[in-house]
């Protein structure tokens, strides 16, 4: 169902091409003139006359893979075909493509036919399975309009758990009492404590009777006792929370520098060499190429960074 598939360089040299039907006009030339030369970024689809053209770049080799088909067709496997052909072609002919001293012949017809046939068969099976699988009657609009359907939908709504569970007043009272008890034992809660801060329901009756009763509050106001029990800013704090104390705890000032003859000398971290930058720049270049930046531009950017740092 394809019309043609072409593999060409960014300079316009066709390395391999396969035609499936008679081509009217020059859709490839229009693509190069209207899209590729103007560098309309972000687009990978182009309509020309009765054709729909899709393409993908291989920036590491400066290649473009273009496929064209009738735009009235809804082909769902085009993206998978482009990615698969790109990977196989680049892996197979990378060395020949980089050798610019002479022209080469790229024998790729059998490989392309095999991949295309496999992808088309896979897509046909998926489409057939979608058509064969009927919808359940309960999933249809007609079922929802029936009396039984309305009953089932109402029943589902009734069994749904509440989004915001209601907490009883007794549970709130127990939680406040637990916070007060823990505060009296040692101030703030300790990190990593295995004991639960909320008493469980399996206490003995003696402990329940010995517990001090708390007056129930019927409005939403917070009492003075509750505010004091939740205040951890007093003398019971475990450590000084000032910014200066936090800075001294997190930063080792000896690694930053030292005082000498009344002057502060910054720690010497050594000079950056080309060997230090080599692995970082290699990853940077690989990242730029993956972002569809041309190979020569990526190399130029990395060289510029190296010159400024070394």
Helix (H/G/I), strand (E/B), else coil: 180: helix
Share of the chain above pLDDT 70, in %: 54
Whether residue 49 contacts residue 24, with contact meaning beta carbons closer than 8 Å, is answered with yes
Is 241 in the same domain as 282?
A: no
Q: How far apart are CA 142 and CA 133, in angstroms?
A: 18
The mean pLDDT value for 176-196 works out to: 55
Query: Residue 298 sits in which domain range?
Result: 274-309
Residue 258 lies in a domain: no
Q: Regarding predicted confidence, which is higher, 124 or 218?
A: 124
Residue 155 lies in a domain: no
Helix (H/G/I), strand (E/B), else coil: 143: helix
pLDDT band at 193 (very low <50, low <70, confident <90, very high): very low
Interstrand relation of 51-58 and 45-48 (parallel, antiparallel or unpaired): antiparallel
Q: Which of 116-130, 133-147, 235-249 has the lowest mean pLDDT?
A: 235-249
Is 51 in the same domain as 102?
A: yes
Residue 37 lies in a domain: yes
Q: Give the chain's domain count.
A: 3
pTM of the entire predicted model: 0.46
Residue 151 lies in a domain: no
Residue 158 lies in a domain: no
Q: How far apart are CA 35 and CA 18, in angstroms?
A: 22
Q: Which of 206, 224, 253 is the last residue of a domain?
A: 253
How far apart, in Å, do the first and last CA atoms of the chain sit? 56
- What one-character DSSP code corresponds to residue 186? H
Reply yes or no on whether the pLDDT at 150 is more than 80: no
Is 10 in the same domain as 88?
A: yes
Number of H helices, E strands in the chain: 11, 7
């Amino acid at each position: 169902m394809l019309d043609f598939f072409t593999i060409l360089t960014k300079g316009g040299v066709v390395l391999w091409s396969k035609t499936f039907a008679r081509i009217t006009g020059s859709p490839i030339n229009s693509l190069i003139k209207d899209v590729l030369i103007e560098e309309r970024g972000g687009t990978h689809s182009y309509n020309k006359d009765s054709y729909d053209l899709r393409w993908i770049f291989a920036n590491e080799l400066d290649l473009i893979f273009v496929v064209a088909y009738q735009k009235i067709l809804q082909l769902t496997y085009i993206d998978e075909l482009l990615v698969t052909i790109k990977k196989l072609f680049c892996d197979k002919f990378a060395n020949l493509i980089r050798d610019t001293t002479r022209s080469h012949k790229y024998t790729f017809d059998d490989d392309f036919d095999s991949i295309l046939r496999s992808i088309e068969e896979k897509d046909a099976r998926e489409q057939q399975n979608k058509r064969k699988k009927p919808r359940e009657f309960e999933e249809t609009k007609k079922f929802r309009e029936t009396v039984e359907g309305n009953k089932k939908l109402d029943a589902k709504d009734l069994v749904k758990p509440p989004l915001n569970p209601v907490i009883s007043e007794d549970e709130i009272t127990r939680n406040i009492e637990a916070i007060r008890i823990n505060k009296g034992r040692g101030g703030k809660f300790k990190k990593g404590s295995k004991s639960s801060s909320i008493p469980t329901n399996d206490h003995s009756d003696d402990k329940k009777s010995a517990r001090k009763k708390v007056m129930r509050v019927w409005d939403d106001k917070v009492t003075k006792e509750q505010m004091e029990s939740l205040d951890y800013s007093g003398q019971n704090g475990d450590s000084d929370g000032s910014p200066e104390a936090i800075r001294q705890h997190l930063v080792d000032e000896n690694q930053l520098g030292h005082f000498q003859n009344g002057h502060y000398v910054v720690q010497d971290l050594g000079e950056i060499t080309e060997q230090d930058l080599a692995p970082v720049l290699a990853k940077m270049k690989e990242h730029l190429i993956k972002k569809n930046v041309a190979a020569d531009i990526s190399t130029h950017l990395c060289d510029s960074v190296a010159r400024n740092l070394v």
